Chains A and B, each alone.
Chain A
């Protein structure tokens, strides 16, 4: 969970001057003739919170899926920490330090909150097949450690200790969102991708989530990429906003600039009413 970012300018400084954690260059995705994402370039500076917004069907989630390795870009290049990760397997990208949540929560339903977080630590564990059968002292210690860490993370995202052993399927919607973030944090990411994390939350809950995001950036040196629908959340928390419409980038900049951009108003805000 500790950051390895070399240069660490104060949060809220000039984002463009900071080292880029992830760079996306001219990425497109075509599904059987249909272009879902077209020639999008974009940079995520270290220790920032940036957002991608756009109306439904703008290609946000497709874009997200390319960053995490679920989709391979048809053209274009994605680099993370200076390494080319275009078309790299999702588990390897996670291992390098990118973690995500899903728009339509994908917890492992029959696992407890804690077990979900244990799976999140998979990439940070060493236990092999023989060690697991013999349950060597090393494996034993590792299992103890990941449970301690797992409880810490659940606590950090605000889960009550009484819910740690509750099955994911039993948890309330807000708690499921929290556990999903905890599971992502468990993989010790440098970059956290949140796909519409406030969907279905009431204003109170989404306020708390916004605070959590700030704490993650400030206390844990995380970089966060947010896909959001809720304009209030995006404008309040992001340092920079990228707007997608029909798969293309139509605007980019700080929240205030984007909000007043006529193209954005036309494509997004206008449609939202």
Chain B
């Protein structure tokens, strides 16, 4: 344990503090200003512009990153298979809000012309709930086997689960379901189109006006922020910090490790499912090729870049990387290699750029761009590197 050793009995020369950064009032003002700007932004943009579309994707990634941050940032469990929850959330839409199951004619809380289409058509809010529940269950099932493992083993087991789910998504068209002429996932062919979102009291969303999509995902971002901040500052949030820093001490203080970790997995997964369901609806497709390992790393890079554990850092990292990926690389910098006389497409460099970012940030500024103070201290002082193997049975 790095907290102290007898040799350090003289007062530590360095004094750390969680204070600092913006004073609380300025922080609130900044938040309100940014929130107002975010709400009004679509009014400044063309309702079908690609920039607005990039903003929608960026916000969907903010939700995703906030979810992964609960698992990795708060509870300290490195999850390399987070794409699994993107997949499950997306398939919730594919299964319950599309014409995929052609033999079924089930309509729940929908109106308009979808009533004339075959398949299962469910209101988006119910699909969202289903996605969260499915993902939370998935998160717990994936989390359960990792409970007694060391940190690096957790990373590999979650990665393996992510790959297993991808293999099932890709080959799911070979798995016949016992009713009608249905299979599990439609594989690489994908489930497309899926239902456009219908919300109570609002007209149906269409691809001709992206503003409702934007406001919806922004609202989901606000709800997610509210939830993760409340949890961070609660009994559960303190327990997460405790197990992250010292499992032995946490367990000895009455924190149930299994339950506390599974809560982190379940909450993180459910949030990922929300984003997955939204993205599937917005992109109007659920395709097995979306669920690659690189997606998990993309989201991980967002939270590392922004600052592990730091809610605002994660928001910033997600917006930044999402724009680099969807705007800067394909639209702005595309011609750079050609102008330098190099023969490759910059979009081919996507992977490498994010890998490079992970490397550079971790070596030079492991606490990220907008660090969370606790994490910063942990990283500089090596808190949480202590020996922690013991015989707690799940």
Contact of B3 among A106, A115, A125, A142 (CB under 8 A): A106
Please report the C-alpha to C-alpha distance between residue A68 and residue B252 in the assembled complex, in whole angstroms.
Answer: 7
A132 and B235 form a contact (CB under 8 A): yes
A100 and B246 form a contact (CB under 8 A): no
CB-defined contacts of B257 to chain A, threshold 8 Å: 91
Contact of B235 among A102, A125, A183 (CB under 8 A): A125
Knowing A110-B377, A187-B254, the reply to whether A135 touches B249 (Cβ < 8 A) is: no
A94 and B252 form a contact (CB under 8 A): yes
Knowing A71-B391, A132-B230, the reply to whether A105 touches B3 (Cβ < 8 A) is: yes
**Which of B239, B241, B252 gathers most chain A CB within 10 Å?**
B252
CB-defined contacts of A125 to chain B, threshold 8 Å: 235
CB-defined contacts of A118 to chain B, threshold 8 Å: 238
* One of A18-26, A166-174, A215-223, A234-242 at the interface: A166-174
User: Is A77's CB within 8 Å of the partner chain B?
Assistant: no
Contact of A172 among B9, B242, B252 (CB under 8 A): B9
A89 and B236 form a contact (CB under 8 A): no
User: Is B34's CB within 8 Å of the partner chain A?
Assistant: no
Residue of B nearest to A70 (CB): B390
B234 and A90 form a contact (CB under 8 A): no
Residues of chain A from 67 to 124 with CB closer than 8 A to chain B in the complex: 68-72, 87, 89-92, 94-95, 99-100, 102, 104-112, 115, 118-120, 122-124
Contact of A120 among B253, B256, B267, B378 (CB under 8 A): B253
Knowing A71-B391, A115-B238, A129-B267, the reply to whether A200 touches B250 (Cβ < 8 A) is: no
A122 and B391 form a contact (CB under 8 A): no
Knowing A169-B377, A173-B4, the reply to whether A123 touches B254 (Cβ < 8 A) is: yes
CB-defined contacts of B377 to chain A, threshold 8 Å: 109-110, 167, 169
CB-defined contacts of A149 to chain B, threshold 8 Å: none
Please report the C-alpha to C-alpha distance between residue A135 and residue B235 in the assembled complex, in whole angstroms.
Answer: 11
CB-defined contacts of A122 to chain B, threshold 8 Å: 235, 238-239, 242, 253-255
User: Is A15's CB within 8 Å of the partner chain B?
Assistant: no
User: Is B248's CB within 8 Å of the partner chain A?
Assistant: yes
Knowing A107-B3, A125-B235, the reply to whether A91 touches B16 (Cβ < 8 A) is: no
B231 and A70 form a contact (CB under 8 A): no
Knowing A106-B3, A125-B235, the reply to whether A120 touches B11 (Cβ < 8 A) is: no
Shortest A21–chain B CB gap in Å is 18
Please report the C-alpha to C-alpha distance between residue A167 and residue B377 in the assembled complex, in whole angstroms.
Answer: 10
* Binary CB contact string for chain B from 363 to 394 against chain A (1 if under 8 A, 0 otherwise): 00000000001100110010100100011110
User: Is B12's CB within 8 Å of the partner chain A?
Assistant: yes
Please report the C-alpha to C-alpha distance between residue A137 and residue B236 in the assembled complex, in whole angstroms.
Answer: 17
User: Is B24's CB within 8 Å of the partner chain A?
Assistant: no
User: Is A176's CB within 8 Å of the partner chain B?
Assistant: yes
A70 and B252 form a contact (CB under 8 A): yes
CB-defined contacts of B238 to chain A, threshold 8 Å: 111, 115, 118-119, 122
Residue of A nearest to B254 (CB): A123
CB-defined contacts of A124 to chain B, threshold 8 Å: 254
Kindly state the interface size class of chain A when it binds its partner. Answer: 35 or more
Shortest A70–chain B CB gap in Å is 5
A109 and B11 form a contact (CB under 8 A): no
B16 and A119 form a contact (CB under 8 A): no
CB-defined contacts of A184 to chain B, threshold 8 Å: 253
Residues of chain A from 129 to 152 with CB closer than 8 A to chain B in the complex: 129, 132-135, 139, 142-143
Residue of A nearest to B259 (CB): A91
Please report the C-alpha to C-alpha distance between residue A105 and residue B377 in the assembled complex, in whole angstroms.
Answer: 18
B3 and A172 form a contact (CB under 8 A): no
Residues of chain B from 246 to 281 with CB closer than 8 A to chain A in the complex: 246, 248-257, 263, 267
User: Is B18's CB within 8 Å of the partner chain A?
Assistant: yes
* Binary CB contact string for chain B from 342 to 377 against chain A (1 if under 8 A, 0 otherwise): 000000000000000000000000000000011001
Residue of A nearest to B386 (CB): A106
User: Is A212's CB within 8 Å of the partner chain B?
Assistant: no
Please report the C-alpha to C-alpha distance between residue A125 and residue B238 in the assembled complex, in whole angstroms.
Answer: 12
User: Is A263's CB within 8 Å of the partner chain B?
Assistant: no
* Binary CB contact string for chain B from 1 to 39 against chain A (1 if under 8 A, 0 otherwise): 111111011111001111000000000000000000000
CB-defined contacts of A94 to chain B, threshold 8 Å: 251-254
Knowing A70-B248, A120-B253, A172-B11, the reply to whether A108 touches B234 (Cβ < 8 A) is: no
Please report the C-alpha to C-alpha distance between residue A108 and residue B373 in the assembled complex, in whole angstroms.
Answer: 14
Q: Apart from A94-B253, A172-B10, A173-B8, what are 19 other A-B pairs with CB-CB below 8 Å?
A: A72-B391, A89-B251, A89-B256, A99-B252, A111-B241, A112-B18, A119-B250, A125-B235, A127-B235, A127-B236, A133-B230, A142-B235, A167-B16, A169-B3, A172-B11, A174-B9, A176-B4, A187-B254, A199-B6
For this complex, 26 residue pairs linking A to B, each with C-beta atoms less than 8 Å apart, are: A70-B391, A91-B257, A92-B256, A100-B252, A102-B1, A102-B249, A104-B5, A109-B381, A110-B377, A110-B383, A111-B245, A119-B250, A119-B255, A120-B253, A122-B238, A122-B239, A129-B236, A132-B231, A133-B234, A135-B230, A135-B234, A167-B377, A169-B3, A169-B377, A173-B6, A173-B8
